[in-house]
Amino acid sequence: MTDQAIERIKEMIVSGELAPGDRLPPEKELSERLGLSRNSLREAVKALEVSRVLDVRRGDGTYVTSLEPRLLLEAISFVIDLHDSRALLEIFAVRRALEAEATAIAAQRATAEDVATLTASIESVAGGSDIEALVEHDVMFHRHIIQLAGNQYLASLLEGLTSATLRARLWRGLTQEGAIERTLTEHRAITAAVEAGDVSLARSLATVHVAGVEAWVRRSGELV
């Protein structure tokens, strides 16, 4: 019955009967309209609150959230944060596939200003040996590339995947000789492909870039 209640509320949102920011009818009225018990409705509301679809404001009422991708995909990020270390390679595989496509799209959409931002980010850590600074740059570089794709759902998914791979990237930088220069060289190549608008090359370079860390993780048994 709770599942039915969730489905009925979802139908109201999908149909436009309830829009982002709207307040749900009072519990008694809504349960009668949907033909559900008030207990089932309460359980459905709790589940949808956890999923960030509904916002229960004590003493005020229950509202539909903004339904922004970032908000709705928080649950996926939570699951990823709880992953078993053995699942890290699977997370890298998903990130590799999605980020390659995001980079390909970025090559079609990037402006001269975007390229300048990517280049400045690379140069800010060039010649240094601070691993933490490199990882911070790495996160911001990939985030900007992904944002260029112009897809909020893709950006939110990759944001969650990226956070799950930070430890591996940091550990690689600390233990693998030449990791800093290798990362920056690959970032320069990706930036050049994006600047040239070469979609196929941008996709290939992004695939190889992520796969490099993935391959290192595969060889480092303590992380898998």
The pLDDT tens digits of the residues spanning 190-220 come to: 999 999 999 999 999 999 998 887 787 777 6
Q: What is the pLDDT of residue 161?
A: 74
To the question of pTM greater than 0.75 for the whole model, the response is no
Nearest to residue 199, comparing CAs of 126, 128, 108, 135? 108
Top CATH class of 2-67 equals mainly alpha
Q: What is the pLDDT of residue 223?
A: 46
Query: Based on the number of CB atoms within 10 Å of its own CB, is 129 exposed (0-12), middle (13-18) or buried (19 or more)?
Result: exposed
Contact 95, 211 (CB under 8 A): no
Mean pLDDT of all residues in 113-120 = 95
Q: What is the pLDDT of residue 190?
A: 97
Nearest to residue 33, comparing CAs of 8, 2, 62? 8
**What pLDDT digit, counting tens, does each position of 118-174 carry?**
999 999 887 666 777 888 888 899 999 999 999 888 888 888 777 666 666 665 655
Per-domain residue ranges for the chain? 2-67, 72-223
User: How far is Cα 194 from Cα 188, in angstroms, rounded to an integer?
Assistant: 10
DSSP per-residue codes, 180-216 = HHHHHHHHHHHHHHHHHT-HHHHHHHHHHHHHHHHHH
Amino acid at 74: E
- 3-class SS of residue 62: strand
Q: 2-67 and 72-223 share one CATH topology?
A: no
Q: Read off φ and ψ for residue 153, nearest 5 degrees.
A: -70, -45
pLDDT value at 85 more than 70: no
Q: What is the pLDDT of residue 224?
A: 42
Higher pLDDT among residues 64 and 169, named by residue = 64
Range scoring the smallest mean pLDDT among 84-88, 89-93, 107-111, 143-147 = 84-88
Which architecture characterizes domain 72-223 according to CATH? Up-down Bundle (1.20)
